[in-house]
Homo-oligomer: A and B are copies of this chain.
Amino acid sequence: MAEHNAQLPNSYLKGPVVVFGTGLLGTSIGLGLSQRGLRVLLSDPSPSALSVAVDIGAGIPLGTDPGVWPELVVVAAPPDVCARVVADALERFPAAFVVDVASVKGAILRELAELSAKTPLDLSRYVGTHPMAGRERAGAVSARGELFNAMPWVVCPHAGSSAAAVQAAQNLGLDLGAVLSQFSPEEHDEAVALVSHLPQMMASLVAARLQDAAPHALSLAGNGLRDVTRIAASDASMWVPIMSANAEPIAAILHAVHEDLIKLIGTLDGPAAPGASLAMAKLISAGNAGQARIPGKHGGPAQPYAWLSVLVDDEPGQIAQLLTEIGEIGVNLEDLRLDHSSGRNAGIVEISVLPAKRDVLIDELAVRGWKVLQ
């Protein structure tokens, strides 16, 4: 850390950093690094997107100055053009490390290997990464320097990545306040197929069934349906490239789901048959076991939180007051949900706390006049 300039906030990277692509991710990276005091140069095929990124302070235009010698080039381009931009960056900046931030890794690496077979590339300087911090709004205008703060940033070196390139990729995540982890590209793609792409596919499949439902039926929708289908609102233009690029790992998991689904349909077609009840119980239990493995808050082991529900008037002040009093009681809130399955102007706040704190909290809230439902 001897290189740190005492006049600037500490940073792991020294810069300059070139960012190709000034969409949400690229602009947020530029903003975050600029706020650290690093020199950032920006490039985008769209002059207007570039202007917005420059105007909000994410960096200055890269231009065609041949005298730029960046420490690191960040490629924040869509998955289907990413490999080509990485290849160009490796050629144009022969002393720079190059990372990309696309949400699939194997497909990009395969395409780079193909490009390198035609015109040899120094792929030792390349490391794929995946910051897991998308937002619902896209574009430079939605960028925030804090976008990656406290969010996972997966560094995925390939077999030929140099140690120095890996360090540069890690430094990028550290400078943006992210939480680092390291996967091989194959491990990464299988992991996101399971924890990100599978839920998206299943949420879309459930939500697709609602298209032709009677409004009457939908009036019975509760938080279960809302939870399962929330991500079904995601944008097709974001998902199609991901599905294309990670098709094989996603399909492998869906084949396994398909087998389970066929078994379930067979069971439901003869619910009174011997063994049918056991088969149903086994599916629900398998779900219990899998769900319990999802890590808890702060990456720790899953905690069996205890829930309680409090009835409040439908006013923001009410919920704030409730949380203030929970703080006064000295109980730490682990999770919180609002329940809108109601047809009235009253809401239910579901609160989860450590199991040992549940009864204390129920008693204290009741003393303070709150309507605790359970």
Could you tell me which A residues sit within 8 Å of B by CB distance? 132, 135-137, 142, 144, 146-147, 149-152, 154, 179, 181, 183, 187, 190-192, 194-196, 198-211, 213-222, 224-237, 239-240, 243-244, 247-248, 250-251, 253-258, 260-262, 264-265, 268-269, 271-272, 276-277, 280-281, 283-299, 307, 309, 311, 314-317, 319-324, 326-327, 331-333, 335-338, 340-348, 371-374
Pick the residue among B202, B211, B215, B216 that contacts A206 (CB under 8 A).
Answer: B202
State whether A257 touches B251 (Cβ < 8 A): no
Can you name 8 A-B residue pairings with CB atoms under 8 Å?
Answer: A132-B220, A144-B374, A149-B373, A154-B220, A187-B216, A206-B287, A251-B269, A321-B324
State whether A228 touches B203 (Cβ < 8 A): yes
State whether B210 touches A190 (Cβ < 8 A): no
State whether A287 touches B179 (Cβ < 8 A): no
Which residues on B sit within 8 Å (CB–CB) of A324?
A: 317, 320-321, 324
**Given A257-B261, A324-B324: A342 and B179 interface contact (C-beta under 8 Å):** yes
Q: Least Cβ distance of A57 to chain B in Å?
A: 15
Which residues on B sit within 8 Å (CB–CB) of A317?
A: 324, 327
**Chain B: CB-nearest residue to A278:** B240
What separation, in Å, do the CA atoms of A194 and B248 have in the docked complex?
Answer: 30
Which residues on B sit within 8 Å (CB–CB) of A326?
A: 316, 320
State whether B151 touches A342 (Cβ < 8 A): yes
Top 10 nearest A-B pairs (CB, nearest first) are A204-B287, A210-B290, A320-B323, A191-B217, A179-B343, A232-B287, A207-B290, A208-B286, A247-B271, A236-B284
**Chain B: CB-nearest residue to A213:** B194
State whether A152 touches B323 (Cβ < 8 A): no
Which residues on B sit within 8 Å (CB–CB) of A255?
A: 265
**Given A210-B194, A343-B298, A374-B135: A231 and B227 interface contact (C-beta under 8 Å):** yes
State whether B209 touches A253 (Cβ < 8 A): yes
Which residues on B sit within 8 Å (CB–CB) of A235?
A: 284, 288
State whether B227 touches A227 (Cβ < 8 A): yes
What separation, in Å, do the CA atoms of A289 and B289 have in the docked complex?
Answer: 32
**Chain B: CB-nearest residue to A304:** B233
Which residues on B sit within 8 Å (CB–CB) of A372?
A: 144
Interface SS majority for chain A: helix
Which residues on B sit within 8 Å (CB–CB) of A226?
A: 294
State whether B232 touches A288 (Cβ < 8 A): yes
Q: Least Cβ distance of A190 to chain B in Å?
A: 7
Pick the residue among B137, B206, B285, B348 that contacts A198 (CB under 8 A).
Answer: B206
Which residues on B sit within 8 Å (CB–CB) of A227?
A: 199, 227-228, 230-231
What separation, in Å, do the CA atoms of A229 and B227 have in the docked complex?
Answer: 8
Pick the residue among B137, B196, B209, B344 that contacts A374 (CB under 8 A).
Answer: B137
Which residues on B sit within 8 Å (CB–CB) of A277?
A: 240, 244
State whether A220 touches B196 (Cβ < 8 A): yes
What separation, in Å, do the CA atoms of A324 and B325 have in the docked complex?
Answer: 12
Which residues on B sit within 8 Å (CB–CB) of A280?
A: 236, 239-240, 243-244
What separation, in Å, do the CA atoms of A355 and B181 have in the docked complex?
Answer: 36
What separation, in Å, do the CA atoms of A200 and B225 have in the docked complex?
Answer: 8
**Chain B: CB-nearest residue to A262:** B258
Other 4 A-B pairs with CB < 8 A, given A232-B290, A254-B264 = A146-B371, A187-B216, A234-B284, A257-B261
